C-alpha cells in the first residue's frame, strides 16, 4: 500500500465542479512539490477515491477543503487544516506547505469521537459563520437532485400542453400527467430533505430523522424553504441538547438512546415548535416570495442587476447559492420567471471566458485557450464554476466584468418575459423554455459584451507586461 504523506477531502454544495477542481489543484500542487497525496472527493455521485482507515492513520496531516460535511470525525487525533473549498482551488500550494509545516489543529484531541461527544466536535468548528454555512450547504447539496429531477420532469410534461395534466382539459395526456405527478413528488421532497441534511450535518445520524420530520411539518405548514432551514437547525441543535442531557445514562443504554430517546423526543419537540411557528413563518415566506416576484414586472432592471451580480460574484459560492435556492423555492411555488434570470446569470460567466478566448486568442496562453473553449460546454449546461480559474487570476477586474455580463443576461431575460420551468440543465432544457430563442439571445448578449471586455482587459495586461520586458 502506498503511504501518502498527506491526505485530503474535498466537497462543495452542488458536488459538480468545485469538488473536483480542488482535487485537481491539490494533486497538481503536491506533484510540483514532490509530495504524495490522496484526495477523497464528496461529489454529487457520492464519495470517490475513498480514504481507508490505514491511509488515514499513516498520513502526516489532513487537508479538508469543503463547504459540506465530509465526515471529519474520521480524522480524530490527526493534524487537520480545514478551509472552504474555494481555498483548495486558489491556495492549494500554500495549504500543502502549511500542512507540512505542522500548522492546523489536532482534531478532537486523542480521544475517539462517538455520538455522545457530538457537542464537543461542534464547538471545534472554525467560527459560527462557517459552521452555519457548511451545515446549510450540506442540506442544499442533498436537496438539489430532488429539485432538478422533479423540475425537469414537470417541465417535460408541459410539452403536451400547459394543461396536459388536467383531466378536464382537451390537452389531457395520461403519460404527461404521470410525469407531472412523479416530478411533483420529487419537488415536494425539497423542504424535508433540506431540513434533514442540515440536521444531519449538525448532529450526524441521530439528527437525520428529526430534521426530516421537522421539514415535513414545515412543508405542510406552508413555510417554504425558510421553514426547512429553521427546522433543520432547530432539529440538529435539539438532538445535540438531548445528547448532552442523556450523557449521564449508563453506556449500556447507548442503543436505547439512539433508537428511542433521540428520535422520539427530538421529533416531538421539533415538531411541536414547528407547528407553533408555522403561521408566522408562512406569512414571512409568502411575503418574501411576493416581494421578489413583484420585481419581475415592476422593476426587471433592478431585479436583473441584483440577480446577475449575485450569481457572478462568487460563481457557486454562498452568494450565488442564495440566488439559486431562492429561484428553486419560487419554482416549487409555480413561478418560472425568476429562475429564468438566475439560470441566465449562471450560464453567462463561463461563456464570457469562451468568447474572450475566441475573440482575443493570442493574448491567452494555451491552457487558458483550452479552458475557455471547454467553458462553452460547461456554460451551456449551467456549470458556472468553469469561470473560476479566470477570475482567480485577476478578481478585481474579472469579477466586475462577469457581474456586468450576467446582469445584462438576467435583465434582458426578465424584459423578454422568459419562463424556465427547470432549475438546471442550461440549454438542454430549451424545448420546455417559454421564449427560448429570446432567452438564448439574452444570454449571448451578456456573454459577448462581457467576453469583449474581458478580452480587452487581458490584452491591456499582456501589452503592459510586454512593454516592461
Residues assigned a catalytic role:
12
DSSP-assigned states of every residue in 306-368? HHHHHHHHHSSSHHHHHHHHHHHHHHHTT--HHHHHHHHHHHHHHHHHHHHHHHSGGGS-HHH
Of all helices (H) and strands (E), which one includes residue 79?
Answer: strand 79-83
| 453: CB partners within 8 A, 6+ apart | 401, 404, 405
* Burial (CB count <10 Å: 0-12, 13-18, 19+), residue 122: middle
The rounded Cα 52 to chain-centroid distance in angstroms is 27
- Look up residue 363 and give its three cell numbers: 493574448
| 351: CB partners within 8 A, 6+ apart | 375, 376, 379, 380, 443, 444, 447, 451
Backbone angles phi, psi at 435, to 5 degrees: 60, 45
The single-letter DSSP state of residue 253 is G
- Look up residue 151 and give its three cell numbers: 423540475
CA distance 379 to 17: 12
CA-to-CA dists, residue 130 to 85, 229, 292, 340, angstroms: 12, 16, 27, 30
443 within 8 A of 344, measured Cβ to Cβ: yes
CA distance 442 to 128: 40
76 within 8 A of 111, measured Cβ to Cβ: yes
- What is the strand order of the sheet 61-66 is part of? 46-48, 37-43, 6-11, 61-66, 79-83, 105-106
Which has the closest alpha carbon to 381: 426, 441, 437?
426
Q: What is the CA radius of gyration of the chain?
A: 24
195 within 8 A of 215, measured Cβ to Cβ: yes
Angle at 419 between CA 189 and CA 352, to 5 degrees: 100
Amino acid at each position: 500500500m502506498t503511504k501518502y504523506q498527506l491526505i485530503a477531502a474535498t466537497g462543495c454544495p452542488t458536488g459538480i465542479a468545485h469538488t473536483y477542481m480542488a482535487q485537481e489543484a491539490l494533486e497538481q500542487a503536491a506533484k510540483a512539490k514532490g509530495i504524495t497525496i490522496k484526495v477523497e472527493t464528496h461529489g454529487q455521485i457520492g464519495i470517490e477515491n475513498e480514504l481507508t482507515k490505514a491511509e488515514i492513520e499513516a498520513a502526516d496531516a489532513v487537508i479538508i477543503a469543503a463547504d459540506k460535511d465530509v465526515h471529519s470525525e474520521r480524522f480524530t487525533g490527526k493534524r487537520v487544516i480545514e478551509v472552504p473549498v474555494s481555498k483548495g482551488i486558489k491556495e492549494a500550494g500554500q495549504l500543502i506547505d502549511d500542512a507540512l509545516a505542522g500548522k492546523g489543529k489536532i482534531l478532537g484531541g486523542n480521544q475517539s469521537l462517538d455520538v455522545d461527544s457530538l457537542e464537543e466536535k461542534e464547538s471545534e468548528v472554525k467560527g459560527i459563520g462557517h459552521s452555519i454555512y457548511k451545515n446549510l450547504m450540506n442540506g442544499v447539496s442533498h436537496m438539489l437532485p430532488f429539485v432538478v429531477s422533479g423540475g425537469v420532469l414537470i417541465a417535460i410534461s408541459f410539452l403536451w400542453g400547459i394543461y396536459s395534466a388536467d383531466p378536464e382539459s382537451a390537452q389531457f395526456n395520461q403519460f404527461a400527467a404521470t410525469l407531472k405527478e412523479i416530478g411533483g413528488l420529487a419537488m415536494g421532497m425539497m423542504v424535508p430533505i433540506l431540513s434533514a441534511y442540515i440536521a444531519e450535518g449538525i448532529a450526524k445520524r441521530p439528527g437525520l430523522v428529526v430534521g426530516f420530520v421537522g421539514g415535513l411539518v414545515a412543508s405542510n405548514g406552508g413555510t417554504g424553504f425558510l421553514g426547512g432551514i429553521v427546522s433543520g437547525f432547530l432539529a440538529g441543535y435539539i438532538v445535540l441538547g438531548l445528547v448532552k442531557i442523556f450523557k449521564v445514562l449508563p453506556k449500556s443504554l447507548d442503543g436505547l438512546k439512539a433508537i428511542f430517546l433521540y428520535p422520539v423526543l427530538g421529533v416531538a419537540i421539533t415538531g411541536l415548535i414547528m407547528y407553533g411557528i408555522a403561521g408566522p413563518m408562512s406569512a414571512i415566506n409568502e411575503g418574501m416570495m411576493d416581494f421578489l416576484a413583484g420585481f419581475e414586472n415592476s422593476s426587471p432592471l433592478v431585479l436583473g442587476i441584483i440577480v446577475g451580480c449575485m450569481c457572478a460574484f462568487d460563481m457557486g459560492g454562498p452568494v450565488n447559492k442564495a440566488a439559486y435556492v431562492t429561484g428553486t423555492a419560487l419554482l416549487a411555488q409555480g413561478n418560472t420567471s425568476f429562475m429564468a434570470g438566475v439560470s441566465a446569470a449562471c450560464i453567462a460567466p463561463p461563456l464570457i471566458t469562451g468568447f474572450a478566448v475566441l475573440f482575443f486568442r493570442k493574448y491567452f496562453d494555451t491552457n487558458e485557450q483550452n479552458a475557455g473553449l471547454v467553458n462553452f460546454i460547461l456554460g451551456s449546461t449551467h456549470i458556472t464554476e468553469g469561470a473560476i480559474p479566470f477570475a482567480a487570476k485577476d478578481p478585481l477586474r474579472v469579477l466586475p466584468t462577469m457581474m456586468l455580463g450576467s446582469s445584462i443576461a438576467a435583465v434582458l431575460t426578465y424584459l423578454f418575459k422568459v419562463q424556465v420551468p427547470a432549475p438546471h440543465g442550461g440549454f438542454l432544457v430549451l424545448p420546455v423554455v417559454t421564449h427560448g430563442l429570446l432567452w438564448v439571445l439574452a444570454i449571448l448578449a451578456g456573454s459577448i459584451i462581457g467576453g469583449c471586455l474581458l478580452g480587452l482587459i487581458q490584452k491591456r495586461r499582456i501589452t503592459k507586461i510586454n512593454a516592461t520586458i
